[in-house]
Amino acid sequence: MERVSRRALLAAGSGAALASAVIGGGVAAAQGTRPPGQPLSDWIERYVIVTEAANSKSARPSTAGSGAPTGPAYYTGLIYRDSDVSGGSVTGANSVGRFRLTGWVYGGGAVPQMVGVGSFDIAGRGKISVTGASGPVGSLAVSGGTGEFAGVAGELRLANLTPGGGLTLIAEFNLLGDTGGR
């Protein structure tokens, strides 16, 4: 995945300031604030994850039409490069790792809302750990990592790739580099 330079991020921030001047401060104000000198993100990693239904478990049965069942759950599956997947189909694509998520699902739907922990093991690069509560937008906090991802923090955003829900999701990691002392 391509890293985003700080210069490119500063240029993008200038665009937000220009948009604010043209259309009003409401849109730019929604961007949030950060201390001076700290980047919004160091880089973005984007993958497609496919849940293995046979190896993923829930303590409660699924109710018709509500997506994932609520209660304790464990999800596992394979990770693919975003560029290797076409229209949600991973046919012929090679996996670049595995993911594992465990927690309590409190809301069903296309992307289950849950409180939990997980790990994304990217072969030859390291692991990314996530934790917290995902809201209706499917977001978890990045709590650390190993290898190339040692000392990272940030956010994992999940979105369904297949219409109407399914087992194939986009996983986008918005990562901050060595965050010790920030």
| pTM (predicted TM-score) | 0.71
Cα angle value 78/123/86 (rounded, 5°): 45
Averaged pLDDT for residues 96-122: 87
* Phi, psi (rounded to 5 degrees) for 12: -65, -40
Looking at the domain that runs over 41-176, which CATH code has it been given?
2.40.480.10
Task: Give 121's pLDDT tier (boundaries 50, 70, 90).
Answer: very high
Domain ranges of the chain: 1-37, 41-176
- Kindly write down the DSSP assignment for every residue of 33-75, as one continuous string: ---TT--S-SEEEEEEEEE-TTT-EESSPPPTTSBSPSEEEEE
Strands 43-51 and 168-176, by their bridges, are antiparallel
Would you state the pLDDT for residue 131?
A: 94
Would you state the pLDDT for residue 110?
A: 59
Question: Residue 76: beta bridge partners?
Answer: 100
Averaged pLDDT for residues 140-164: 86
| Spatial distance between the Cα atoms of 147 and 124, rounded to a whole number of angstroms | 8
Task: Give 116's pLDDT tier (boundaries 50, 70, 90).
Answer: very high
Structure tokens at 110: 């296309």
